[in-house]
């Protein structure tokens, strides 16, 4: 195993295989090679596996899957200064061009030339060794596990969402979705000093977890609440119930939508207070019916959130290292590298008892 590089490869839509690849070489003097120790499965990985595309990113050739990873540095380029061989690191999976206006402003999540792991045509981290720019590796302290390091990635996504929302202490925050990103958004909101954090989900199991994890309370949506009658009226009624039940005084200061489900998007607008903030992070159908008149009348600020910007990864590492957020609590299933396909099949099922699934790296 020391002389090769096992990899879990997406060959084409719904077709994967294990390959023995060459050990990757450093591409320049600022790169490092990392022995991957843990990788979390993200919904985007499953999306490429099942559909072969997300927006303009289309699978036209085989790619290695995985982008939520941590490991140990085993080789460094001659000009690397921030890490050394033997350091344990969390890997930020998207390296931008560094030269465009977006990169220069710190909004490198918008860079069109980003090399992002497991986003076509770039290989991901579900391989024994992964080469990446050294400044996109963040040392983690000894008390953090490799699993914690891998889950810094979704924590960073939640930090970005909170940053986009300009979330501050003393605010009321309503989060639609109690899956991994929704639960982590709730945790970041509490860490940032939010006065009240309410989660919303259709799953009782996820709601129960979210309340034990970070949320002050969770509203469980009855299936009948989103069926029958006028859908927009049902969404408005759901929002009114949430606002009244939790004393949100005219609506939540901030609404974070982490499901992508049309009824939740609509209810989120209706549940936001006048002058409030609505951030869309969940991705579902590409087009939805949106209550634009309500958004205008309430003078809402509506933003989208994607990936992470300058400072999000260091903040995420600090939140985990300090114990303010424990992402390991989200892990419900663990698999060996050789069981990667089985792990993906489990995530695809989307069962209530499945939150975060991690895959151990090649030893």
- Residue 100 pLDDT exceeds 60: yes
- Residue 271 pLDDT exceeds 60: yes
Whether residue 15 is found in the same domain as residue 133: yes
> Is the distance from CB of 35 to CB of 129 less than 8 angstroms?
yes
3-class secondary-structure state, position 133: strand
Report the distance separating Cα 65 and Cα 117, nearest Å: 8
Contacts 24+ apart (CB under 8 A), 283-288: 284/259, 284/260, 285/260, 288/262
Report the percentage of the chain scoring pLDDT > 90. Answer: 95
Q: What is the pLDDT of residues 162-200, one digit of tens each?
A: 999 999 999 999 999 999 999 999 999 999 999 999 999
Q: Where would I find the H helices in the chain?
A: 43-51, 101-105, 146-150, 152-164, 180-191, 204-213, 231-245, 262-271, 292-297, 312-321, 340-349
Whether omega for the bond prior to residue 121 falls within 30 degrees of 0, making it cis, is yes
- The single residue listed with the structure tokens 């300009």 is 166
- pLDDT-derived band at 3, boundaries 50, 70, 90: low
- pLDDT-derived band at 223, boundaries 50, 70, 90: confident
Whether residue 18 is found in the same domain as residue 70: yes
- The single residue listed with the structure tokens 């809402």 is 300
Mean pLDDT for the chain overall: 96
Q: Report the number of distinct structural domains present in the chain.
A: 2
Q: Tally Cβ neighbours within 10 Å of residue 197.
A: 27
> Is the distance from CB of 259 to CB of 235 less than 8 angstroms?
no
pTM value is: 0.96
- Burial of 170 (C-beta count, 10 Å sphere; 0-12/13-18/19+): exposed
Domain assignment of residue 211, given as a range: 166-304
Q: Determine, yes or no, domain membership for 161.
A: no
Whether residue 133 is found in the same domain as residue 180: no
Report the distance separating Cα 65 and Cα 342, nearest Å: 14
Whether residue 207 is found in the same domain as residue 287: yes
β 272-280/252-257 pair status: parallel
Q: Determine, yes or no, domain membership for 77.
A: yes
What does the pLDDT read at residue 227? 67
Q: Determine, yes or no, domain membership for 355.
A: yes
- Residue 160 pLDDT exceeds 70: yes
Whether residue 276 is found in the same domain as residue 343: no
Q: Determine, yes or no, domain membership for 160.
A: no
Whether residue 47 is found in the same domain as residue 178: no
> Is the distance from CB of 239 to CB of 270 less than 8 angstroms?
yes
Whether residue 13 is found in the same domain as residue 145: yes
Whether residue 23 is found in the same domain as residue 115: yes
Whether residue 172 is found in the same domain as residue 269: yes
> Is the distance from CB of 93 to CB of 70 less than 8 angstroms?
no
Phi, psi dihedrals of residue 326, rounded to the nearest 5°: -115, 85
What does the pLDDT read at residue 38? 98
Report the distance separating Cα 84 and Cα 93, nearest Å: 19
In CATH, what number is assigned to the domain containing residue 326? 3.90.180.10
What does the pLDDT read at residue 1? 42
Q: Determine, yes or no, domain membership for 123.
A: yes
Spatial CB neighbours of 293, under 8 Å, sequence gap ≥ 6: none
- Burial of 230 (C-beta count, 10 Å sphere; 0-12/13-18/19+): exposed
Report the distance separating Cα 256 and Cα 279, nearest Å: 5
- Residue 2 pLDDT exceeds 60: no
In CATH, what number is assigned to the domain containing residue 190? 3.40.50.720
Q: What is the pLDDT of residues 6-48, one digit of tens each?
A: 999 999 999 999 999 999 999 999 999 999 999 999 999 999 9
CA dihedral 338, 342, 345, 347 (to 10 degrees): -80
Whether residue 323 is found in the same domain as residue 299: no
Whether residue 245 is found in the same domain as residue 343: no
Tokens of 196: 């009240």
- pLDDT-derived band at 226, boundaries 50, 70, 90: low
Q: Determine, yes or no, domain membership for 333.
A: yes
Q: Tally Cβ neighbours within 10 Å of residue 275.
A: 12
What does the pLDDT read at residue 55? 84
What does the pLDDT read at residue 125? 98
Q: Determine, yes or no, domain membership for 258.
A: yes
Q: What is the pLDDT of residues 292-330, one digit of tens each?
A: 999 999 999 999 999 999 999 999 999 999 999 999 999
Report the distance separating Cα 206 and Cα 180, nearest Å: 9
């Amino acid at each position: 195993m020391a002389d090769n590089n096992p990899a879990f490869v997406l060959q084409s839509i719904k077709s994967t295989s294990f390959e023995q690849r060459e050990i990757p070489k450093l591409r320049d003097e600022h790169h490092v090679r990392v022995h991957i120790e843990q990788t979390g499965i993200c919904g985007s990985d499953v999306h490429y596996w099942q559909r072969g595309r997300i927006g303009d990113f289309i699978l036209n050739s085989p790619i290695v899957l995985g982008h939520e990873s941590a490991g140990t540095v085993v080789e460094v380029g001659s000009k690397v200064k921030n890490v050394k061989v033997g350091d344990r690191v969390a890997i930020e999976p998207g390296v931008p061009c560094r030269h465009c206006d977006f990169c220069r402003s710190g909004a490198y999540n918008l860079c069109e030339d980003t090399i992002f792991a497991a986003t076509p045509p770039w290989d991901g981290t579900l391989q024994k060794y992964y080469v990446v720019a050294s400044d996109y590796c963040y040392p983690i302290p000894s008390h953090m596990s490799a699993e914690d390091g891998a889950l810094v990635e979704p924590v960073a996504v939640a930090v970005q969402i909170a940053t986009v929302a300009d979330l501050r202490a003393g605010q009321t925050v309503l989060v639609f979705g109690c899956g991994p990103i929704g639960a982590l958004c709730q945790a970041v909101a509490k860490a940032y000093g939010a006065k009240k954090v309410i989660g919303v989900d259709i799953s009782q199991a996820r709601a129960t977890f979210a309340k034990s994890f970070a949320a002050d309370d969770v509203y469980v949506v009855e299936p009948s609440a989103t069926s029958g009658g006028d859908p927009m009226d049902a969404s408005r009624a759901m929002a009114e119930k949430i606002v009244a039940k939790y004393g949100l005084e005219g609506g939540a200061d901030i609404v974070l939508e982490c499901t992508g489900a049309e009824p939740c998007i609509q209810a989120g607008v209706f549940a936001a207070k006048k002058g409030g903030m609505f951030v869309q992070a969940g991705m579902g159908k590409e087009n939805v019916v949106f209550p634009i008149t309500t958004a205008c009348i309430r003078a809402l600020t509506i933003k989208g959130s994607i990936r992470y910007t300058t400072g999000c990864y260091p903040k995420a590492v600090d939140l985990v290292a300090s114990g303010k957020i424990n992402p390991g609590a989200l892990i419900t299933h663990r698999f060996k590298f050789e069981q990667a396909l089985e792990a993906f099949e489990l995530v695809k099922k989307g069962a209530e008892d499945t939150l975060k699934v991690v895959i151990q790296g090649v030893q």
